[in-house]
Chains A and B, each alone.
Chain A
């Protein structure tokens, strides 16, 4: 099975900050890497699919990139509604594992 790791596990940031979250796959996942935002009590939300494609309706401040088995989610200018937990997921090979998550909270 493909293992996904994320760093950091949590971070504190201020509105307006640039935030970067990294995800690493234990083996190739090609570009079958997706990013989700999850707020407590709500359904998760797809942000980025295919490593770098922005899901419809998602603000352009969210971007995804890849370099081999390393993937990055960047929030260019953090907004109040962006405080949440972010997960990467590979859908290259079943089981379609999630990373452990990165919690972004208010500094």
Chain B
């Protein structure tokens, strides 16, 4: 079955960088757009970024543009999110999620369980 497993979260100091990974299985990774969505403590879902099925097309939330980089390795069935110069606003659970198709505009139909990022000195 479809599985998405995030890793790389933890406690990170303000100003440092962090790379999250999402290992997927159970489907043809290279045929789907992929997203990152986060949820700060006590807050709602916050869409972060999307990458096209083949990698060259990427979009970001305005709040993170310039500090976050989404990427993927279709040969390793893995999605990444690099976060530079982390701030307390980056604290939260980060979900890796699959779009329903190759289209960037497709709804997200599968989600990982999330990885918690805590920004603290």
Interface residues of A (CB under 8 A from B): 1, 32, 34, 36, 38, 42-46, 49-50, 55, 85, 87, 89, 91-92, 94-101
Contact = CB atoms under 8 A, between A and B. Distances in A.
Interface of B: 35, 37, 44-47, 50, 59-62, 95, 97, 100, 104-109, 111-114
B107 A91 contact: yes
A85 B109 contact: no
Chain A contact residues: helix, strand, loop or mixed: loop
B62 A100 contact: no
A87 B107 contact: no
Chain B contact residues: helix, strand, loop or mixed: strand
Given A43-B95, A101-B45, A95 B62 contact: yes
A91 B106 contact: yes
B69 to A, nearest CB: 15
Given A1-B62, A91-B106, A92-B105, A43 B47 contact: no
A2 B37 CA distance: 17
Given A43-B95, A46-B107, A100 B44 contact: yes
Contacts of A50: 107
Nearest to B45: A98
B111 A43 contact: yes
